[in-house]
């Protein structure tokens, strides 16, 4: 039964990811100088996520629309990033945005909070 639920969840998540790819829309346009600055700033960010998670898809969609080259790290079982998320953030919950600034690291959970942070900082 547990395996069946996992299969259904992955199938639905994959379907949602496919729909997202087809309906994404356009990226935010910036001048080359502005985009270079954004690219440099996003080197301090990483998104911990599962591919088929609807909340992760929502967050990745916002990242795409904001034209942010943020590193995406899979927190799936067996991934080294899963342990990083557990140790650094305190729990394995996705999506989670790792924010490093001035040597300090913050772990931001909840898709809506992550999107709000990114829009405020980069829109």
pLDDT at 70: 98
* Average pLDDT per consecutive 10 residues, the chain (123 residues; last block may be shorter): 77 77 82 95 97 92 96 93 94 97 95 98 91
Rounded to 5 degrees, φ, ψ at 5 are -65, -40
CATH architecture of 2-122: 3-Layer(aba) Sandwich (3.40)
pTM for the model: 0.85
pLDDT at 17: 76
Determine the Cα–Cα distance for residues 29 and 84; give it in Å rounded to an integer.
33
Nearby residues of 76 by Cβ (< 8 Å), 6 or more positions away: 50, 51, 82
pLDDT at 5: 77
Enumerate the H helices of 23-110 as residue ranges.
32-41, 54-65, 80-89
pLDDT at 42: 97
Q: Angle at the Cα of 89 (from 75 to 40), degrees rounded to 5?
A: 80
**In the chain, where are the structural domains located?**
2-122
pLDDT at 110: 97
């Amino acid at each position: 039964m547990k395996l069946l639920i996992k299969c259904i969840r992955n199938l639905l998540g994959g379907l949602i990811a496919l729909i997202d790819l087809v309906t994404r829309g356009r990226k935010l346009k910036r001048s080359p100088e502005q985009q270079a600055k954004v690219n440099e700033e996003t080197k301090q960010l990483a998104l911990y996520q599962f591919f088929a998670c609807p909340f992760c898809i929502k967050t990745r969609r916002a990242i795409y629309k904001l034209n942010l080259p943020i590193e995406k790290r899979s927190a799936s079982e067996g991934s080294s990033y899963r342990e990083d998320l557990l140790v650094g953030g305190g729990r394995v919950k996705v999506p989670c945005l790792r924010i490093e600034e001035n040597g300090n690291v913050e772990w931001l959970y909840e898709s809506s909070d992550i999107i709000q942070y990114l829009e405020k900082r980069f829109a």
